Structure 1
Amino acid sequence: MLITVTRSGGFAGFEKLRSLDTSDRADAAELEGLAQRAVAPVADGYHYRITVDDDVLDLQDPGLSDDQRALIRTVLGEGA
C-alpha cells in the first residue's frame, strides 16, 4: 500500500509531502489499518467546504476547530 501525506500551512507556509510504501515494512499491517480507518467516512458525519475569497478548505465533522464550528453555525444560520 502506498500512503501519501501532505501538510501545508503553518507559520512559514511550507508544504511537506511524504510517501510511504508499506510492502517491505514489519509494521505494514498496523499502518495499513491506520490508513484505512483514517480515510473512512464518519457515519452520519457532516462534510463542509468553506470558501473565503480564493481559499478553499474541506472539513469533516468531527474534527472541526471551535472557530470553524462557530463560522459554520453563523453562516448556515444555526445560532451562535
Structure 2
Amino acid sequence: MLITVSRSGGFAGVDKVRKIDTSARRDAAEWEGLAHRVLPPVADGFHYRITIDGQVLDLAETGLTGDQRQLIRAVLGEEA
C-alpha cells in the first residue's frame, strides 16, 4: 500500500509531502489498518473539490458543514 500525505500553508508557507510504501515494512499491518480507518466510511458517497481564488478544499460528503453544503448546492444548481 502506498500512503501519501501532503501539508501546505502555515505561517512559513512550507509545503511538505511524504510517501510511505508499506509493502516492505514489518509494521505494514499497523500502517494499513490506520489508513483504512481514516478513509470515509461511505464508499458510494460524493467527494467534492472546491476551489476559491486558488485555495482548494477536498471534502467528503459525510463531513460537510452546512455552509459547504449550501455553496455546493448553489453552484451545482441543486435544490437546497
Higher helix share: 2
TM-score range for the pair, normalised by the shorter chain length:
0.5 to 0.7
Q: Counterpart of 1:64?
A: 64
- Output aligned runs, 1:15-30, within 5 Å: 15-22=15-22, 23-25=24-26, 27-30=27-30
Q: Counterpart of 2:45?
A: 45
State TM-score, norm by structure 1: 0.58
Corresponding residue SS for 1:69: helix
Unaligned runs of 5+ in 2: none
Unaligned runs of 5+ in 1: none
State TM-score, norm by structure 2: 0.58
Distance 1:63 1:14, change over 3 A: farther
| Structure 1 residue 31 displacement after superposition | 0.9
| Structure 1 residue 58 displacement after superposition | 3.4
Distance 1:44 1:6, change over 3 A: same
Distance 1:45 1:10, change over 3 A: farther
Q: Which amino acid aligns with 1:13?
A: G
Does the CA contact (< 8 Å) of 2:3 and 2:20 recur in 1? yes
Aligned-residue CA RMSD (Å): 3.0
